[in-house]
Amino acid sequence: MATIVVALGGNALGNNVVEQLESAKVAAKSIADLVAGGHKVVIAHGNGPQVGVIKKLMDTGDFVMPMPECTAMSQGYIGYHLEQCLRNEFAARGIKKPVTGVLTQVLVDKTDPAFKNPTKPIGNYYSEEDAKKQMAETGKTYAEDAGRGWRLVVPSPKPVDICNKETIKLLVDNDTVTLACGGGGSPVVNEGGNLCGIDAVIDKDFAAAKLAELISADSLFILTAVDRVKINFGKPDEKSLASINLAQAEQYIGEGHFAPGSMLPKVQAAMMFVASGQGKKAIIGSLEQAALAIKGESGTEIVAG
């Protein structure tokens, strides 16, 4: 029985409550396919659109809600939908597996250079004109996001440790389908032995890769909107990749094939997990084709060599 960490994109879950609940139903079907195949499953998820909306709603003229608290809210909000849909899908199929979520804190290094270079897109998409107006009025940083529009960007430090890893591993070892590291987890730093929140958002793919490493998972699935990773994306010589090794992935990154804030962190996170131990495997593929990806019939598999 393999242990699989599945990372779901926040964008794939929609931009409002109705869209998110419907998307969670789709996600639940794919995850149920993996569970029905005899696998232990941990689900991480993004929160890019959702945490931006939460922050916008929570910030007032007199008070600014810190990002760790906004991420914690998104973990509960998204986790509620995913857990509910998983329970309903399992009941419909006669799958008798407990499901639970773990509100996760993730340790980062306060000296991480990311704090001086915000790159993580969150919230709504804007035109270039509107984004530059927002920058002039607020002093915040906005950047173009993979051809889809301009978005607010915040620091995105790399995860150093998962504070809840022992609890998550205990749940997984007891065959509980577990939601963890939602939105990359709420970022915290160690201040003299005490955990303290810090204003940032952790990329969910890197958090999922770190979690997969720490709980000794066999595979990392990064599920997104495309069936396979592509090179020369959008060009006449576009090519889908069924399998690549670490050296090939490094080459493609160096040649600039993967967009920052989009496919690049997914490939880098997959590489990080594969490099963490012998026999580790990562797959990047579409949510709907998850069951096929585990059979090698869909998705891009990243292996050591």
Which sequence positions are flagged as catalytic? Answer: 10-11, 120, 204, 266
Q: Residue 225 contacts by C-beta under 8 Å, 6 or more apart in sequence?
A: 9, 11, 12, 286, 287
Q: Determine how many CB atoms are found less than 10 A away from the CB of residue 211.
A: 28
- For 62, the enclosing helix (H) or strand (E) is none
User: DSSP string of 138-182?
Assistant: H---EEE-TTS-EEEEE--PPP-EETTHHHHHHHHHTT-EEE-SG
Q: Residue 293 contacts by C-beta under 8 Å, 6 or more apart in sequence?
A: 221, 283, 285, 286, 299
